[in-house]
């Protein structure tokens, strides 16, 4: 696989870790990001690396690359509720126009294409755990619909390019991921809780905290994505995440304990359409990618806590 890899959204949380991983594997990486939610601080250590190139660009505009490219990995998109509620139109545009442009580039370069989709395509699921053949329970006109439907459209156009133009495509349905380089103001549970507990501020839980999530540490996620890139003849979506499920209230208590914080838990109204459960069925990833997560929640949280304390 040692070829040029283009990553859209490469200065973001998962994208920047992929840049590191692929360069370590000996690849040349071209990172495209408009830095709306990504940050140069995530890739500053790579800027002088001869195998790395950064291009500041909005992928909803035409992408012009005058180099051979073997792989296009499309990770550009706001990914947290705070971000996609702040940028609803841009979220829809990067999921539609951005995906179209990234696929067009892959077609022109005869490159393999991977779409970073999301477990949000399942919405507030009625099936638990979620398998790839579940169509989801999504409110298209709710506040979260801008992200959910952007990714659902992105999956649809990716499959259309595969069927119509024979592009070699992959779709990764990414479940909740955490680790170093998450922003303090990301808005998701783990960075929120860490930002609050490290400062001994009240820890905010929405609803009664009984809603569940499954958290995958970043190194496991990157390995899963890499295995999917290398896989053969898997064009339909593949869940990548950690199936160990925990309630948000339990997560809050774990983080308070691990940070030795004096924070107290306070409760706020649950946002509209917030999923009550979220847990991946990863049987397909296990069998086809020979992948499963290795880092348990406590180990991953301790690494993430150290990072947040150093910020």
> Per the CATH hierarchy, to which homologous superfamily does domain 4-178+217-241+278-294 belong?
NAD(P)-binding Rossmann-like Domain (3.40.50.720)
Catalytic residue among 147, 178, 217, 226: 147
pLDDT band at 192 (very low <50, low <70, confident <90, very high): very high
- Would the pTM count as exceeding 0.85? yes
Cα–Cα distances in angstroms (integers) from residue 35 to residues 14, 56, 151, 194, 209, in the given order: 14, 7, 20, 24, 33
Question: In the annotation, is 147 catalytic?
Answer: yes
Taking the domains of the chain in order of start, what are their residue ranges?
4-178+217-241+278-294
d(CA 54, CA 44): 10
Average pLDDT over residues 60-66: 97
- Is residue 105 within 8 A of residue 161, CB to CB? The reply is no
Residue 211 has pLDDT above 90, yes or no: yes
- pLDDT tens for 229-256 read 999 999 999 999 999 999 999 999 999 9
pLDDT band at 160 (very low <50, low <70, confident <90, very high): very high
Structure confidence at residue 3 (pLDDT): 87
Average pLDDT over residues 3-15: 97
Strand partners, 280: 130
- pLDDT tens for 64-75 read 999 999 999 999
Residue 294 has pLDDT above 90, yes or no: yes
The dihedral built from the CA positions of residue 189, 220, 259 and 214, taken in this order, carries a sign that is positive
pLDDT band at 1 (very low <50, low <70, confident <90, very high): low
Percentage of the chain surpassing pLDDT 70?
Answer: 99
Tokens of 236: 């339909």
Angle at which helices 13-24 and 218-230 cross, to 10°? 60
Average pLDDT over residues 288-295: 98
Helix (H) or strand (E) holding 10: none
- pLDDT tens for 129-143 read 999 999 999 999 999
pLDDT band at 273 (very low <50, low <70, confident <90, very high): confident
Residue 178 has pLDDT above 80, yes or no: yes
Residue 2 has pLDDT above 80, yes or no: no
- Is residue 118 within 8 A of residue 79, CB to CB? The reply is yes
pLDDT band at 278 (very low <50, low <70, confident <90, very high): very high
Residue 32 has pLDDT above 70, yes or no: yes
pLDDT band at 311 (very low <50, low <70, confident <90, very high): confident
d(CA 8, CA 98): 9
143 phi, psi to nearest 5 deg: -60, -30
Structure confidence at residue 272 (pLDDT): 86
154 phi, psi to nearest 5 deg: -60, -40
Structure confidence at residue 140 (pLDDT): 96
């Amino acid at each position: 696989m040692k070829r040029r890899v283009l990553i859209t959204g490469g200065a973001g949380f998962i994208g920047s870790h992929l840049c590191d991983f692929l360069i370590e594997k000996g690849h040349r990486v071209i990172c495209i990001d408009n830095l709306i939610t990504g940050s140069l601080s995530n890739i500053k250590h790579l800027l002088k690396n001869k195998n790395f190139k950064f291009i500041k660009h909005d992928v909803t505009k035409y992408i012009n690359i005058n180099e051979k490219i073997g792989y296009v990995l499309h990770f550009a998109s706001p990914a947290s509720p705070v971000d996609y509620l702040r940028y609803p139109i841009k979220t829809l545009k990067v999921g539609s126009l951005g995906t179209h442009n990234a696929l067009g580039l892959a077609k022109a370069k005869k490159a393999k294409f991977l779409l970073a989709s999301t477990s949000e395509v399942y919405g507030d699921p009625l099936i638990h755990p979620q398998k790839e053949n579940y169509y989801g329970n999504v409110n298209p006109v709710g506040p979260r619909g801008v992200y959910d439907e952007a990714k659902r459209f992105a999956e649809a156009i990716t499959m259309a390019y595969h069927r119509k133009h024979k592009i070699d495509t992959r779709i990764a349905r990414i479940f909740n991921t955490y680790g170093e380089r998450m922003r303090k103001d990301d808005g998701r549970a783990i960075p929120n809780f860490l930002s609050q507990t490290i400062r001994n501020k009240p820890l905010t839980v929405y609803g009664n905290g009984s809603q569940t999530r499954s958290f995958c540490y970043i190194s496991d996620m990157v390995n899963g994505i890499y295995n999917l890139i290398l896989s053969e003849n898997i064009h339909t979506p593949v869940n990548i995440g950690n199936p160990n499920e925990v309630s948000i209230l339990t997560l809050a208590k774990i983080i308070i304990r691990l940070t030795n914080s004096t924070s107290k838990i306070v409760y706020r109204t649950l946002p509209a359409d917030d999923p009550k459960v979220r847990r991946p069925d990863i049987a397909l990833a296990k069998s086809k990618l020979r992948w499963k997560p290795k880092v348990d929640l406590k180990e991953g949280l301790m690494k993430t806590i150290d990072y947040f304390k150093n910020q």
